[in-house]
Amino acid sequence: MKAVTIREAQPRLRELIAEACQGELIVLTDGEKQVALEPHIPSDLERDSPQLEAELLKAIDGPFEPYSSEEMKAIGRRVLRQKQEQ
């Protein structure tokens, strides 16, 4: 992980983005605020869909109201993030 202030990052943003795309976690800081640059990894439906399907089935079968659009997106992001960490 690499932490860089906004001021330091501005002149080398292209370089930092390239590093993030190669897998380096880049954290931009602005005082107490922090934002991470991480690469977008496209979904592999062959690999990712069973976990996503299980989460969707829980939503259907659960004793609660249907998930909102934002909740469904958050579940999808969580499942993909967990797969990336494995």
What is residue 65's DSSP assignment?
Answer: P
- Give me the residue label for tokens 């390239």: 18
**Could you report the average pLDDT of every consecutive run of 10 residues in the chain (86 residues)?**
93 92 90 87 68 76 70 85 79
Whole-angstrom distance, CA of residue 41 vs CA of residue 83:
11
- Which CATH number covers residue 30? 3.40.1620.10
Residue type at position 81: R
Contact between 26 and 12 under an 8 Å Cβ cutoff? The reply is no
Q: How many domains does the chain have?
A: 2
Give residue 20's domain range.
Answer: 2-37
75 shares a domain with 51 = yes
33 shares a domain with 57 = no
50 shares a domain with 33 = no
49 shares a domain with 81 = yes
53 shares a domain with 81 = yes
pLDDT at 46: 65
